[in-house]
Amino acid sequence: MDKKTGESAAVSAVPLVPNVVGGSAQPGKAKRTLPLIQPATGETIGMVPMSTSDELSEMVQVAEAAQKNWGLTPLKDRVQVLFRLKTLLEDNTPALAEVINKENGKTLDEARASISRAIECVEYATSLPQLAAGPVLEVSRGVECKMLRFPLGVVAGITPFNFPLMVPLWMIPLAIGCGNAFILKPSEFTPLSALELAKLLKKAGLPDGLFSVIQGDKEVVEAICDHPKIKAVAFVGSTRVAKAVYTRATAAGKRVRALGGAKNHLIVVPDADPEMTATNIVASVTGCAGQRCMAASVLLAVGEVGHILDRVKNIMQNFVPGKDIGPVISKAAYDRITGYLERAGKSGAKLVLDGRTAKSQVAAKGLFLGPSIVDNVTPQHECAREEIFGPVLTVLHCKTLDEALTIENSSPYGNAACIYTGSGKVAQYFIEHSHAGMVGVNIGVPVPREPFAFGGWHDSRFGDGDITGASAIDFWSGVKKVTSKWSAEYKANWMS
Interface residues toward ligand NAD, by CB under 6 A: 158-162, 167, 185, 187-188, 217-218, 221, 236-238, 241, 244, 259-262, 293, 387, 389, 415, 456, 460
Is residue 485 classed as helix, strand or coil in its secondary structure?
strand
Buried b (16+ CB within 10 A) or exposed e, 74-85: eeeebbebbebb
Tell me the pairing of strands 296-302 and 392-398. parallel
C-beta of residue 257 within 8 angstroms of C-beta of residue 156 = no
Any idea what DSSP says for residue 449?
Answer: P
Segments in 92-238 forming alpha helices (H): 93-104, 108-126, 128-131, 166-177, 192-203, 218-226
C-beta of residue 135 within 8 angstroms of C-beta of residue 479 = no
Please state the closest distance from residue 107 (CB atom) to ligand NAD, in A.
Answer: 18
Give 418's strand partners.
Answer: 266, 440
Nearest residue to ligand NAD on Cβ basis:
237
Please state the closest distance from residue 220 (CB atom) to ligand NAD, in A.
Answer: 8
C-beta of residue 417 within 8 angstroms of C-beta of residue 439 = yes
For ligand NAD, the closer CB: 354 or 387: 387
For ligand NAD, the closer CB: 154 or 223: 223
Active site (annotated) includes residue 178: no
Is residue 492 classed as helix, strand or coil in its secondary structure?
coil
For ligand NAD, the closer CB: 456 or 463: 456
Peptide bond into 451 cis (omega under 30): yes
Burial class of residue 461 in the structure, from the number of CB atoms within 10 Å of its CB (0-12 exposed, 13-18 middle, 19+ buried): buried
Please state the closest distance from residue 89 (CB atom) to ligand NAD, in A.
Answer: 19
How many C-beta atoms surround the C-beta of residue 229 within 10 A?
Answer: 11
Please state the closest distance from residue 158 (CB atom) to ligand NAD, in A.
Answer: 5
Distance of alpha carbon 394 from alpha carbon 377, whole angstroms: 8
Strand order in the sheet with 136-140: 136-140, 143-151, 477-485
User: Roughly what angle, to the nearest 10 degrees, separates helices 306-316 and 274-286?
Assistant: 50
For ligand NAD, the closer CB: 277 or 394: 394
Any idea what DSSP says for residue 16?
Answer: B
Is residue 355 classed as helix, strand or coil in its secondary structure?
helix
Q: Pick the catalytic residue from 121, 178, 288, 293.
A: 293
Distance of alpha carbon 394 from alpha carbon 373, whole angstroms: 6
Give the E-state strand segments of 179-309 in sequence order: 181-185, 211-213, 230-236, 255-259, 264-268, 296-302
Please state the closest distance from residue 211 (CB atom) to ligand NAD, in A.
Answer: 17
C-beta of residue 39 within 8 angstroms of C-beta of residue 367 = yes
Please state the closest distance from residue 170 (CB atom) to ligand NAD, in A.
Answer: 8
CA-wise closest residue to 20 among 216, 297, 151, 171: 216
CA-wise closest residue to 265 among 406, 458, 368, 382: 406
User: Roughly what angle, to the nearest 10 degrees, separates helices 75-91 and 93-104?
Assistant: 70
Give the E-state strand segments of 11-89 in sequence order: 19-21, 24-26, 33-37, 44-49
Please state the closest distance from residue 320 (CB atom) to ligand NAD, in A.
Answer: 25
Catalytic positions, please? Answer: 293
